[in-house]
Structures are given as structure tokens and as C-alpha cells.
Amino acid sequence: MPCLPYKALIAAIAASALLAGCGGGSSSPQGASADTLMSSHAVATLSTSQLQNLLVTRYAGQSAAQQLIGAPQCGVQVDKFVYATVGGEGEATDASAALMLPSGTAAQCQGPRPIVVYAHGTAIDHAEDMSAINDPTNPAYATSTRVALIFAAHGYIVVAPNYAGYDLSTLPYHPYLDGAQQSQDMLDSLTAARQLLRQPGSLVTDNGKLFVTGYSEGGYVSMATLQALDAQGRPATAGAAMSGPYAMLALGDEIFLGHPNVGATAYLPLLANSYAHLRQGSIDPSQVFSSLYSKAYTLFPGTTDFSDFGSLVANGEIPASALFQSPAGAAGAAGFSTSAYPSLASLPEGAPLYGAGFDASAYLVGTAFRAAYVADVDAHPDGGAPIDGSAPDLSGTPPAIAADPQSLLRQDLKANDLRNYTPSMPLLLCGGHGDPEVLWDQGAGLMTAMLRSKEASDPSLRFVTLDLDTSSGSAGTYVQYGLSPAVNAALQAMGAQAQAAFTGYQAAVDSAVGPALGLEAYHTDERPYCTVEARTLFDQY
């Protein structure tokens, strides 16, 4: 099938994506057309020697990471394609993606090959483009090159969507952490990529094995996609959800109860704009934010990357890190009245940001909105975020999800919470317990507790959880259930190497730039080590 001009196809194919429903056949995801590909073109071709140079350059000073990733075995061709999908309200739209194809004469670089669908992490720059493998100025460059080096250069076909709302997409917002939309987006990109692979002249073909993975936002998206595939009766071969906020309601509650996370002043505006565009239960973002930053939800995705976030702060468009208002000080100092908000006054200015997450006057979330949210937490608590500020008990029966939240935002968070999902395929969870952005307890910790509670009732359950962080005397975490001895041995061996490499590298970062900046880098620094562990899992199948 030839790829016709993008503008000539967008209306017809986007409309068919919305109307096709369940009738697209077994190869088409629910709600998508069997033909979602709109246009495509080649972007770049990298030889194994170019990829080797890229490996050394990208991971300069990280010899352990270079060794774990390994020398490229294949060249990589990168194509960019546009596909039809839907927005958060079910409206027809479009998105773009990268297709990375292994090439070369080695057996693992040609013929039928497995597919990895990769979901990227949070981006605030609209220009995010996973096909920009030769453009260091693109905000997706670090992710694109990592995925190419770890997967495509080792024989995997990679499908890497940019998501609706980014790059060439005409959707004016991004459906951030909207599980239904984002899983549909992923499956629509896969459908389009498979159409592209069937065209004459493709370097490789699809061997039928499908792996789904992603990091941070992409960790959540990959889990939601695995759930969608299971619901459609066509499960993936294996999945790896890395450092994602799977327990969405518990994470929201933990933050509002006094533990803002690093990056929250970017993440919450994205989330508010997304949840203003749900098929049902949409929130009004104008009610969320303080008067000083009432338009914060309109900023992202925008024209600023995380590296330039400070310019938005300097222009007074967003606070650097202060999510909430501090209580008033002595002699009428700015801040909220403790008599007006006694329940807020009793809450901590806690980890991981402590006081940096609060400010007396320049704060992101309206204090009245926060008070109403916390009142709903008090009335309808979620066991994954204890209201006394303690860590949830993950050692026995998993903490109960809030049964009947009344806050509309909490209802939306619960609707997108993935704790009740039981995967039918082997699943890896990976991250670090010191992560200040996606909190471990409200991410991999709670998800692992839920899975462990199902071991006796689900003999087909297969999962492994890896905590990379062995600092401060911690042994890290390696928990598995249901894996064969050979698969477990391979994952445990690579996991031990990844733990040593990450912990050593993070200690060097902390020493070089100080603990505060090291904390900011922690979440990003986990990525190559978890991704190599994901590849190790996929290699076993």
C-alpha cells in the first residue's frame, strides 16, 4: 500500500479510526481502524560503527552502562510515520511515531523479528519526536538513542509513538495518564507500524512476538496497554513497566497529604489539562490552580523543554517547585490561615522536597482546592497513602483502594488506577526506592503487593520486581513469582549487575554535584539500567 500525502488522508482515516469500533478484525484494537497508517518517510540509517560511537558518546563516563547495553549487533534504520488515533474525549485525531528497524547480515538483524512497543516518559515540549535520532536538540533525543541502542541495535523492531498532542499531532492537548486513550494510542501506532512492515522492501518482518515497555509516564502507559491487550484477548508476549505511577489515586493522595514530588509543578498542569478532556467525569482545571498561576494548565505541551523550565519560572508562569501554600507565619506574614484550614496545618512539608514543595505566596495549587481534596481523603482514605503520613504496609494484605471518593479529581485518578490489573504475560516492574518523582511505594511497591496477594489464586501469574537502589546498606529488591528457573536466573544475574551499576553511578553523581542535584537526576539515571533488564526479560521469550 503506498503512503499517500498526509493532508489528503487525515480526515478520512481519522474518521474511520473513530467509527470502526470492534469491527476491525482480530488484528485491530478496539476503537481503531484496521488501516491507521497515514504517511511515512525514512529519517536516518545508522551503521553498527556509528551506533558504537553513539553508545560511547551517550554514556561517556558510564562504562558499566556501556557494558550492560552491549556493542551494537545490527545497524538501525529509522522511519517516521503518522497514524490515526483518538483523543481523550474519543475525538478523531492523529499522532506520529518512530519505527526502528534492525539491519545487517547477522541472523538477529534480518528476517522475522520481534516487536517492542516503547512508551516514552513525560515531555513538556510539543516538539517531542522519537524519530529524531540524529538531532541532539530534540527533547526526545536521549530517549530515542537509548531505545535504539538497547533494542533495535540488538535485533528488535521498535515502535515508539510520540503520543497524541506532540510533534505533528493536531490534538491541542495531551491525554496525559489517561489509561484508556493512551493504550488506544499505543495500539493504533502498532497497527500502523505493522501496515508499514508489510509494504514491499521492508528490511525485516514481524515474527508475531510482541513486547510492551516504557518508562515513567511510559511505565504507566505500557501497563495500561498490556491491560488493554489482555482485555481484547490478545496478550503481549511479555511486558516491562518501568518506574511508572500505577497506583494513581494513592500517588495523588500522597502528594496532597504533604509529600510533593520532584517535577510536580510540570506534571500537575499536564494532568489537569488531560482530565479536562475525559469521556466522562472531566474536571475543571480553572478550579485547581491558584490565582497567580491560573493558566498553568495551558502551558504544556508547549515550546519549552525541561532544560528551559527555569525560563517559565523567571517569567512568572509557573513556580519552580512549590506545589502548595505554606501556613501563615507570625505578625501577619503571607500564607494560609491555620484557623481556616486546620487539617492542612497539621500536614507535613515532607519528603522528597520538604520546604521546597511549599511557598507562602507563589504556589501552584489553590489552597481551597487542596483542602477539599484532603477532606475527601480523610473521609474516604486510600490505604496506599496513609493519612498519618506513614509509609503503607506492603508486607501482607495489600492496602485497600479508596472505595468511594467524592472529589472529582480523586474519582478520575481512581478510574485510571491500575492496581486491580492482573497481567496474563510475564511482567517486569523496575525502578528505585529513592525515586523522588515517581514514588516507589505508590508505584512498583503497591503494584507488587497487589500481585503477591494473587499468587495463591492465580497459578499462571508470572512477574519480577527489581529495585535498583542498594545504597545506604539496602539490599535492593528482587522479587519474582512463577518464572522458570532459567528465566529467573537470567533476570537475577542481570538485575544484580544493574543494581551495582546504578548505585555506583548515582553515588558518583551525588558526589560530583551534591545530594540535591543528584536527587533531581535520580529518576532519569535509572532509565538505562531498567531498560537493559527489560531486554533481558524479552530475550528469554
Q: What is the pLDDT of residue 21?
A: 33
Does some domain include residue 64? Answer: yes
Rounded distance, CA 244 to CA 215, Å?
6
CATH code for position 101? 3.40.50.1820
CB atoms within 10 A of CB 527: 23
Q: Which residue has the cell 506492603?
A: 394
430 and 532 in a single domain? The answer is yes
Q: How many domains does the chain have?
A: 2
Q: What is the pLDDT of residue 326?
A: 97
Is 439 in a helix, a strand, or coil?
coil
Q: What is the pLDDT of residue 32?
A: 42
10 CA to centre of own chain: 27
54 and 192 in a single domain? The answer is yes
User: Where does 121-226 show beta strands of DSSP type E?
Assistant: 157-161, 204-215
Does some domain include residue 45? Answer: yes
481 membership: H or E segment, kind and range: strand 477-481
Give the residue from 382, 415, 448 where a domain finishes: 415
Cell of 180: 484508556
Q: Tell me the pTM.
A: 0.94
Does some domain include residue 526? Answer: yes
By the 8 A CB rule, do 211 and 241 touch?
Answer: no
Cell of 500: 551495582
Q: What is the pLDDT of residue 34?
A: 64
For 348, the domain range is 261-415
Q: What is the pLDDT of residue 6?
A: 36
Cell of 527: 532509565
185 phi and psi angles, rounded to 5 deg: -55, -45
Give the residue from 415, 437, 454 where a domain finishes: 415
243 and 266 in a single domain? The answer is no
Rounded distance, CA 144 to CA 79, Å?
12
Residues 6+ apart with CB under 8 A from 167: 95, 96, 126, 127, 128, 129
CB atoms within 10 A of CB 265: 24
Does some domain include residue 254? Answer: no
Cell of 485: 528457573
Gap between the terminal Cα atoms of the chain: 31
395 and 423 in a single domain? The answer is no
395 and 450 in a single domain? The answer is no
157 and 105 in a single domain? The answer is yes
Residues 6+ apart with CB under 8 A from 93: 14, 84, 85, 86, 87, 164, 169, 170, 171
108 and 189 in a single domain? The answer is yes
Does some domain include residue 282? Answer: yes
Rounded distance, CA 399 to CA 392, Å?
7
Does some domain include residue 22? Answer: yes
Rounded distance, CA 467 to CA 247, Å?
17
191 and 111 in a single domain? The answer is yes
Q: What is the pLDDT of residue 535?
A: 98
Does some domain include residue 315? Answer: yes
Rounded distance, CA 131 to CA 506, Å?
29
466 membership: H or E segment, kind and range: strand 463-467
How do beta strands 463-467 and 324-325 pair?
unpaired
Q: Give the number of residues written for the chain.
A: 541
Which of 265, 182, 264, 216 shows the shortest CA–CA distance to 440?
Answer: 216
DSSP letters, 131-149, are: T-TT-TTSTTHHHHHHHHH
217 and 360 in a single domain? The answer is no
38 and 98 in a single domain? The answer is yes
Give the residue from 367, 399, 415 where a domain finishes: 415
What letters, b where the CB count within 10 A reaches 16 and e where it falls short, cover 314-345? Answer: eeebbbebbbbbbbbeeeeeebbeeeebeebe
102 and 147 in a single domain? The answer is yes
Rg of the chain on CA atoms, in Å: 22
Q: What is the pLDDT of residue 476?
A: 81
Tens-level pLDDT at each residue, the chain (541 residues): 334 333 333 344 344 443 333 323 333 333 344 689 999 999 999 999 999 999 999 999 999 999 999 999 999 999 999 999 999 999 999 999 999 999 999 999 999 999 999 999 999 999 999 999 999 999 999 999 999 999 999 999 999 999 999 999 999 999 999 999 999 999 999 999 999 999 998 889 999 999 999 999 999 999 999 999 999 999 999 999 999 999 999 999 999 999 999 999 999 999 999 999 999 999 999 999 999 999 999 999 999 999 999 999 999 999 999 999 999 987 667 999 999 999 999 999 999 999 999 999 999 999 999 999 999 999 999 999 999 989 999 998 999 999 999 999 999 999 999 999 999 999 999 999 999 999 999 999 999 999 999 999 998 999 999 999 999 887 788 999 999 999 999 999 999 999 999 999 999 999 999 999 999 999 999 999 999 999 999 999 9
Does some domain include residue 1? Answer: no
Rounded distance, CA 541 to CA 110, Å?
18
40 and 168 in a single domain? The answer is yes
